[in-house]
């Protein structure tokens, strides 16, 4: 796809809107990959033989990275909440639905 060179499209959001009809599947695929972000964390396990702590690294989902990817995507598509032409909007509250982990 050739770059958008229209001088009237000065902002990134305007350029994305102009290119959006052909980029929908690619944007959704990129967002899906970002939502699968993982990170490695250090896990200390007690040893049954010598009573010391052994360390191993495990890979877990990176919820912060996935949440940030969705946040950035929504801000680019819809704009930041409460920053529309100086009009103060009611903040959007997102609640987790499902069983708690604890």
| pLDDT at site 59 | 94
pLDDT recorded at residue 9: 55
Rounded to an integer, what is the distance from CA 81 to the centroid of its chain? 16
Dist CA 5 CA 98 (whole Å): 46
pLDDT score, position 94: 74
| pLDDT value of position 97 | 75
Instruction: Give CA–CA dist 68/46, Å, rounded.
Output: 34
Higher per-residue confidence, 30 vs 6: 30
How does DSSP classify residue 89? P
pLDDT per position as a tens digit, 11-63: 766 777 777 777 777 878 888 888 888 999 998 888 888 878 888 899 999 98
Check whether 82 has a pLDDT greater than 70: no
pLDDT at 89: 63
Q: Which of the two residues, 83 and 27, has the higher pLDDT score? A: 27
Closest CA to 70 of 36, 22, 25, 26: 36
């Amino acid at each position: 796809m050739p770059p958008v060179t229209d001088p009237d499209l000065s902002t990134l959001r305007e350029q994305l809107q102009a290119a959006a009809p052909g980029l929908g599947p690619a944007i959704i695929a990129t967002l899906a990959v970002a939502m699968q972000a993982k990170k490695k964390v250090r896990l200390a396990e007690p040893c049954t033989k010598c009573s010391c702590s052994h360390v191993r690294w495990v890979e877990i989902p990176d919820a912060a990275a996935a949440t940030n990817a969705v946040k950035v995507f929504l801000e680019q598509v819809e704009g930041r909440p409460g920053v529309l032409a100086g009009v103060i909007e009611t903040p959007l509250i997102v609640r987790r639905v499902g069983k708690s982990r604890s």
